[in-house]
A = this chain, B = another copy of it.
Amino acid sequence: MPGRPYNPAHTEAARAAVFDLLEERGYEAISMEAVAERTGISKQALYRRWKHKRALIVDAFAEKADLLPDLPDTGNFERDLRALLRATFALLNGPCGVTNRALVAEALQDPEFLPELRERHLSRRRQQLRTVLERASRRGELKVPPDDTTVDLILGPVWYRLLLQNAPLDTSTADDFTDRLSRLLRGS
């Protein structure tokens, strides 16, 4: 027997509130209490949907973080990679970057969340790059078939800069990365 369904507006409002709080007052300001107050949803209703504060945070960010740039096939690996990196960097300079940093912070503190993050989120970014790589491989542009390490070598520096911010993620960096990495991977 069915029972009253969740109010879907609430689910969405809570997710939005998490994001708003992050942007307005920083990661530490995110609290169930604050989400409840700001949205007018009772704590009880929140805890009915999400087991933890973390569960809400993760769920809230999952969507926003999953934004992926479009991937037109340019017919050339270097052009593809450049477009991908430029678009990625651009995204990561906005709220999407904040979100990704927050998600990793969460995962580092909560070991149970890390696998979930990998499966729900990181894997999609890896897959996107993989698609580009395999396309290039089929065209015969790559020395060797792409594998997980190939992906690590490309995405590693991106995450490194995003998380530890030792340098900006700007267009010229994207181009620099593209130049060096495509030389690494291209035949010759």
**Hey, which bits of chain A sit against chain B, CB under 8 A?**
26-28, 101-102, 104-105, 107-111, 114, 117-118, 122, 126, 148-149, 152-153, 155-161, 163-167, 173, 176-177, 180-181, 183-184
Contact = CB atoms under 8 A, between A and B. Distances in A.
B166 A180 contact: no
A108 B114 contact: no
Contacts of A157: 152-153, 156-157
A25 to B, nearest CB: 11
27 contacts: A26-B109, A28-B109, A102-B108, A104-B108, A104-B164, A108-B108, A108-B163, A114-B165, A117-B164, A118-B164, A126-B166, A148-B167, A149-B167, A149-B173, A149-B176, A149-B177, A152-B157, A152-B161, A153-B153, A155-B160, A156-B159, A159-B160, A159-B163, A160-B160, A180-B184, A181-B184, A183-B184
A166 B28 contact: no
Given A28-B109, A105-B108, A109-B28, A152 B167 contact: yes
A179 to B, nearest CB: 10
A65 B117 CA distance: 25
Given A108-B163, A114-B164, 12 more contacts: A26-B109, A27-B108, A104-B108, A104-B164, A122-B164, A152-B157, A152-B161, A153-B180, A156-B156, A156-B157, A157-B157, A180-B184
Contacts of A27: 108-109
A120 to B, nearest CB: 13
A183 B150 CA distance: 13
